[in-house]
C-alpha cells in the first residue's frame, strides 16, 4: 500500500503561533551574546579602526614596524629556511597573486604569506612584545602585504590593518602569559594566528559577526611548540609563516560564511583553558581603545633571542670600559629573570638557531667580537675555538629580584671576573629597543638600510623607504611590493 503525504502550501501553518518572531528574537539574542564575548569586543574595536581616527604616533609606529619587519625579511631571504620556503611556494601555487620577497615574481596569496613570514623571522631581528612574549610583526606584516596586494588595497587601509594585528597579538598574548609560554607554546605562532586573522579581516572589511568568526577560526589553527630548542631545527620560523598564512585563510573563510566559535578565548574548551594553566582574560579588553598595543612593541638590535638582549647590553657595557683579552677572563656570571635563565642557558650550540637561543654563546661573542649581529652566527664564528672556550666560562643564574620586575622590565646583571682580581659589572633594566629605552628614528632607518642593503642596491633601498614613509599616499600596495622582487 502506498501512502501519499501532502505538505500544505502554507507550511508555516504547521508551526506554533509566533514561531518566526521568536526565532528572530533568538537569533538577535545570539548575535548580541557573541558581541559580549572577548572575541566580540575585539571584533567591535577592529571594525571601528580607521586611518582618520588613529593618533599620529600610532600611524608612525605602524610604519616603523612595517619597515623593521621588511628589513629582517629581506636580509633573511637568503637563509636556508627561506630558500626552502620560497621554492616550495613557487611549486605549490604559481598563481600570480602576491609578491614573494626577493623572488622572481608572484605566487598564491597563502603561499606568499607563509614564505614571507618564515624569512621575516629567520634572523631573530624582528620586533616583539614583552607582555605577550612573542613577535607580532612576522605574522602580521607578511599577511597584510600579501592580502592587500591580491585585493588591490591602498596604503591608507594597510596601516589600520597593521594596528589591528598588533593590538590582537598584544592582548591575546598578555592574557595567557606567562603560563602559555611556560607550557611550551611559541606565542609567535599561536597568538600570531589571531593577529594575522585580525589584520586580514580588517583589510577585507569583515562585519563584526564575521570578524568574530575569523578570530574563532584562527583559534582552531593556532599552533607552535618550543620543541625545536632540543636540536636547533627549523620549526621556530615555520610558526611565523603558518600564522600569517592561517590568518588570511581564517578571514577568507569567515568572509565566505564559514563560522567560528564566538568565545574561542574564554570558553571552557577554548584557547586559554587548553593552552594555559592560568590566564587573565580581562587583560584582553582592559583599556581597549584607550592605549594601543603597537606602542609597546620593541625593536631588536642584536640578532638573537630577545631574552638575551639585556645580558648582552650589560656585557657590552662592562667590556667597553677596558681593553679585554679572552685569556684574562676567569669567569662570566649573568644574572637575569627566571624565564630567560631557564630558556637560553644551554651551551650545546650546533646551528645558527641554537646559537641565537644560547645566552652563553651570545655572551661569548659579545665579549670577543664586540657585537651580536648577523655575522656572529655564521659557521666560522659558531666553530671558533675561542668562542667555545669562553662559553664554558659563562654561567647563567636566575635572580629573584629581577623576577619581581617582570614583565614591566626584563633586566640583567653581567659580572666579568678577571684573573687579576678585577670585577667588571653592569646592570641593564630595559634592553635597547624597548619603549623605555628606544633607539632613535635614525637608528631604525639605519637598521633597515643595513639589512636591506645586504640584498638590494642603495637606490632601491631608498625607494622602499620612501614608499613606507608615504604609505597613506600609495593607491595600491603593489607600488611598494614591486620593489621587493629580486629584479
Please answer whether residues 368 and 419 qualify as being in contact, where contact means their C-beta atoms are separated by less than 8 angstroms. Answer: no
pTM for the full predicted model:
0.90
Q: How many CB atoms lie within 10 A of CB 389?
A: 14
C-alpha cell at 60: 608612525
Q: Which of the four CATH numbers 3.30.1330.120, 3.40.50.280, 3.50.50.60, 3.30.70.20 does domain 306-428 have?
A: 3.30.1330.120
CATH 1.10.4100.10 fits 30-296, yes or no: yes
Whose CA is closest to 414, among 324, 308, 322?
Answer: 308
Q: H-helix or E-strand containing 112? A: helix 109-121
Q: What are the residue ranges spanned by the domains of the chain?
A: 30-296, 306-428
> pLDDT truncated to tens, each residue of the chain (487 aa)?
444 444 455 555 555 666 556 545 444 444 555 678 999 999 999 999 999 999 999 999 999 999 999 999 999 999 999 999 999 999 999 899 999 999 999 999 999 999 999 999 999 999 999 999 999 999 999 999 999 999 999 999 999 999 999 999 999 999 999 999 999 999 999 999 999 999 999 999 999 999 999 999 999 999 999 999 989 899 999 999 999 999 999 999 999 999 999 999 999 999 999 999 999 999 999 999 999 999 999 999 999 999 999 999 999 999 888 888 899 999 999 999 999 999 999 999 999 999 999 999 999 999 999 999 999 999 999 999 999 999 999 999 999 999 999 999 999 999 999 999 999 999 999 999 999 999 888 999 999 999 999 999 999 999 999 999 999 999 999 999 999 999 7
Task: Measure the CA–CA gap between 261 and 269, rounded to whole angstroms.
Answer: 10
What is the C-alpha separation between 154 and 477, in angstroms, rounded?
Answer: 6
**How far, in Å, CA of 273 to CA of 192, rounded?**
18
Short-list 289, 313, 343, CA closest to 409 = 313
Residue 442: its H or E element: helix 441-452
Contact in structure between 86 and 77 (CB atoms under 8 Å): yes
Distance, in Å, from the CA atom of 258 to the CA atom of 208, rounded to the nearest integer, reads: 14
Amino acid at each position: 500500500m502506498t501512502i501519499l503525504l501532502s505538505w500544505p502550501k502554507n507550511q508555516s501553518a504547521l508551526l506554533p503561533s509566533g514561531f518566526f518572531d521568536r526565532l528572530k528574537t533568538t537569533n538577535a539574542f545570539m548575535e548580541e551574546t557573541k558581541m559580549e564575548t572577548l572575541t566580540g569586543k575585539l571584533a567591535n574595536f577592529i571594525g571601528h579602526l580607521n586611518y582618520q581616527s588613529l593618533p599620529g604616533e600610532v600611524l608612525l609606529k605602524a610604519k616603523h614596524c612595517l619597515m623593521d619587519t621588511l628589513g629582517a625579511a629581506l636580509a633573511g631571504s637568503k637563509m636556508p629556511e627561506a630558500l626552502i620556503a620560497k621554492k616550495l611556494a613557487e611549486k605549490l601555487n604559481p598563481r600570480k597573486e602576491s609578491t614573494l620577497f626577493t623572488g622572481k615574481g608572484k605566487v598564491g596569496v597563502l603561499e606568499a604569506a607563509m614564505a614571507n613570514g618564515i624569512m621575516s623571522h629567520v634572523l631573530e631581528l624582528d620586533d616583539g612584545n614583552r607582555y605577550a612574549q612573542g613577535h607580532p610583526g612576522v605574522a602580521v606584516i607578511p599577511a597584510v602585504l600579501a592580502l592587500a596586494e591580491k585585493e588591490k588595497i591602498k596604503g591608507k587601509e594597510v596601516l589600520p590593518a597593521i594596528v589591528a594585528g598588533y593590538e590582537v597579538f598584544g592582548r591575546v598574548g598578555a592574557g595567557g602569559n606567562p603560563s602559555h609560554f611556560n607550557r611550551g607554546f611559541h606565542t609567535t605562532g599561536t597568538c600570531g594566528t589571531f593577529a594575522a586573522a585580525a589584520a586580514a579581516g580588517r583589510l577585507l572589511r569583515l562585519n563584526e559577526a564575521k570578524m568574530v568568526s575569523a578570530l574563532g577560526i584562527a583559534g582552531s589553527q593556532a599552533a607552535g611548540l618550543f620543541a625545536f630548542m632540543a636540536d636547533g631545527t627549523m620549526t621556530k620560523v615555520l610558526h611565523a609563516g603558518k600564522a600569517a598564512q592561517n590568518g588570511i585563510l581564517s578571514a577568507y573563510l569567515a568572509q565566505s560564511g564559514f563560522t567560528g566559535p564566538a568565545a574561542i578565548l574564554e570558553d571552557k574548551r577554548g584557547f586559554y583553558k587548553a593552552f594555559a594553566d592560568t590566564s587573565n582574560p580581562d587583560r584582553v579588553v582592559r583599556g581597549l581603545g584607550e592605549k594601543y598595543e603597537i606602542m609597546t612593541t620593541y625593536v631588536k638590535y642584536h640578532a638573537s633571542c630577545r631574552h638575551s638582549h639585556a645580558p648582552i647590553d650589560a656585557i657590552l657595557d662592562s667590556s667597553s670600559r677596558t681593553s679585554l683579552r679572552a685569556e684574562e677572563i676567569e669567569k662570566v656570571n649573568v644574572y637575569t629573570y627566571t624565564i630567560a635563565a631557564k630558556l637560553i642557558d644551554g651551551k650545546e650550540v650546533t646551528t645558527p638557531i641554537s646559537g641565537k637561543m644560547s645566552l652563553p654563546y651570545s655572551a661569548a661573542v659579545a665579549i670577543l667580537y664586540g657585537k651580536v649581529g648577523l655575522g656572529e652566527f655564521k659557521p666560522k664564528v659558531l666553530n671558533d675555538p675561542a668562542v667555545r672556550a669562553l662559553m664554558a666560562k659563562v654561567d647563567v643564574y636566575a635572580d629573584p629580584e629581577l623576577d619581581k620586575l617582570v614583565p614591566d622590565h626584563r633586566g640583567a646583571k653581567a659580572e666579568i671576573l678577571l684573573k687579576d682580581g678585577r670585577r667588571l659589572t653592569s646592570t641593564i633594566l630595559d634592553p635597547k629597543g624597548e619603549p623605555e629605552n628606544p633607539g632613535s628614528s635614525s637608528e631604525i632607518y639605519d637598521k633597515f638600510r643595513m639589512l636591506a642593503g645586504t640584498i638590494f642596491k642603495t637606490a632601491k633601498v631608498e625607494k622602499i623607504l620612501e614608499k613606507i614613509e608615504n604609505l597613506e599616499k600609495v593607491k595600491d600596495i603593489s607600488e611598494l611590493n614591486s620593489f621587493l622582487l629580486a629584479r
